[in-house]
Chain A
Amino acid sequence: MFGLGDWQIAAALIGCVGITLFGVIYGSVNWNRGSDPRKEEASMRVRRRARRRKSAKERA
């Protein structure tokens, strides 16, 4: 196949192209899927405030 002498090398080449295609397709399909940065930022703010309150209490 493709002038290659060994099926294991052909498998490696097909594997390389295949896994790259998988990466491209996976990334494209999930392009807009994932955590929402705005929600995370809001959640972070709440957590930061809670942390600050907790450490203030501890100091008091």
Chain B
Amino acid sequence: MKNFFVIGSVIAESGMNTYILGTLIAIYMLLVGYLGYRGFRKTSSNKDYLLAGRSVNPFVMAMSYGAAFISTSALVGFGGVAGQFGMGLMWLVFMNIAIGIVVAFIFFGPRTRRIGLALNAHTFPEFMGDRFESKYLKVFLAAIIFLFMPLYSSVVLIGGARFLQEVMTIDYGYALGIFAVIVALYVVFGGLKGVMYVDAMMGTVMIAGMLSLLIMCYWKLGGVTSAHQALTDMAPLVAERLPQESALGHQGWTSMPRFNTVWWWTLVSSLMLGVGIGALAQPQLAVRFMTVKSTRELNRAVVIGSVFILCTAGAAYMVGALSNVFFFHADKGIAEGISGKLAIEAAGGNPDLIIPLFIRQALPPVILYVFSLTLLSAAMSTLSSLFHVTGSAIGHDLFRNLSKTKRDSVSITRVGVVFGIIVSVILGVVLPPGIIARGTAIFFGVCAAAFLPAYWAAIYWRGATRVGVWLSISVGVGSSLFGLLFLHRKESAALGICQALFGKGELISAFPWPYVDTLVYSLPLSVLALVIGSRFSAKPSKAHLKNCFESYQIDG
């Protein structure tokens, strides 16, 4: 959040014309309003509101999935990390495309859609609860979403408001209000149709912004191979100028970190596995598989989704790493004012500033305008999806199942969405940023370990039982929380519970344990619990399995 504020300042200081940017943002918001209104006009039932009528076309579905997947922190935050540590992050792009798109759309999508249709499920908790015939599982999953998702939403919300405050030079309160109200309006009234239409537009802006950034970057640095070669030649500077990063395993921006070092473990366990695999079990992404009208649309969406991730995340990480060449060769006349600095030095030690600083220094102002809209798109598209999934968990899953009412109306879900948005805004104002950031990390860790094995079993394993799934989710949540509170240094040190109870920052200080992502052990434990629990408990009825797996044949 603080970094978003600084990014906004960097962009605002670039001499961008506020009136031009204001006009662009106004046109942009009008388009958002129009698409949200279209969603509203086409929404009459809960199926429309929660699943966009199950009739979304592949372009909208893939762009919406991608735009919800890639947030501002993925572009600017990880782009900056690539500026600091180099192109090793391209493995994350590979995992995002391979797992987050190809595996998700080809292996998870069709079965999720088919079983969701057979069960008439509208949300992720409802899908899981109905598949395993457990009302309490539905409530439990909805409660997890309700408890943790607003933390993540509040980070994105406040980040977007800070950005708007800085680039538009308006009061923070107004910026927060405007940002929250605009997103709330099209989520509350437009439902998932409004969200997905707007996401598709924003995804297009993101592709255009990031692609133009990458092309301009290579053009500025003299072409692909010469830019890479110049970055490779800078490798000896790591030991000389960045001793801390060198000690962490950094060997150069076009080399992988040294094996079994802090940075290697962070890259492989937290980024490649944690973020790469974790995306499969995100409720706001999984629900999108149920929005298309046939599996044919999912096949078509693979094309758009893979290109989207390559053009957005791939471009951000390449530009981040290559910005070092630009900043270092400034004395050759590429940029006046900054001479012979590495990207992280030019950004004053804050990796989040590398990409905005590079754009401000190296590229024409028009790219800055496009980039501002790209950042706004990334924030709004992620936020709207989070608001929608939180609201549907509250209104559709929690309220209906906990109260005696059988009524299932769009109004109840809308009230749930409004409530979710209010909670996110209050959390964002009340909680300190450190807690919010840690809460987000906990949510992602818990999500992957708790949901993934159960979700896989729901669509692939007829032998999985309710007891097995409960055990798997409990072990996944428990081991993730244990790892975050007592083993993984980043979280355990920030939360301070381990320190208070045992007088030390983490229980196992021996390398590499403080740096190993919780997913590495919590996911296998969760799988093991699923297998053991399912092996020794009563199997689901044949009629139910037939309904789930044989109602609609997969023929593509």
Contacts and interface: CB of A to CB of B under 8 A. Distances in A.
B207 interface: no
Given A2-B228, A26-B302, A27-B301, A35 B310 contact: no
A2 B227 CA distance: 9
A22 B117 CA distance: 28
Main secondary structure of the interface of B (DSSP, over half): helix
A32 B296 contact: yes
A35 B552 contact: yes
Q: Is the interface of A mostly helix, strand, loop or mixed?
A: helix
Given A24-B306, A40-B552, A16 B94 contact: yes
B94 A30 contact: no
A35 B553 contact: yes
Contacts of A15: 90-91, 94, 98
Interface residues of B, number: 54
A20 B235 contact: no
B299 A40 contact: no
A40 to B, nearest CB: 6
B227 A3 contact: yes
Interface in A11-43: 12-13, 15-17, 19-20, 22-24, 26-28, 30-37, 40, 43
B244 interface: no
Given A23-B306, A27-B303, A3 B225 contact: yes
A36 B232 CA distance: 52
Given A26-B302, A34-B555, A43-B551, A16 B310 contact: yes
B303 to A, nearest CB: 3
B276 to A, nearest CB: 12
B300 A4 contact: no
Interface of A: 2-6, 8-9, 12-13, 15-17, 19-20, 22-24, 26-28, 30-37, 40, 43-44, 47
Nearest to B302: A27
Given A5-B254, A20-B310, A12 B87 contact: yes
**Residue in A17, A27, A30, A31 with the greatest tally of chain B CB atoms within 10 Å:** A27
B102 A23 contact: yes
A26 B299 CA distance: 7
A24 B314 CA distance: 16
A43 B555 CA distance: 15
Contacts of A43: 551-552
B254 A36 contact: no
Which 9 pairs between the two chains have the least Cβ-Cβ distance? Answer: A34-B296, A23-B306, A3-B228, A27-B303, A3-B229, A34-B556, A34-B295, A12-B90, A6-B255
A20 B298 contact: no
20 contacts: A5-B254, A6-B251, A8-B88, A8-B256, A9-B256, A12-B90, A16-B93, A23-B305, A24-B302, A24-B307, A26-B106, A27-B301, A31-B296, A33-B296, A34-B298, A35-B294, A35-B555, A36-B294, A37-B294, A40-B294
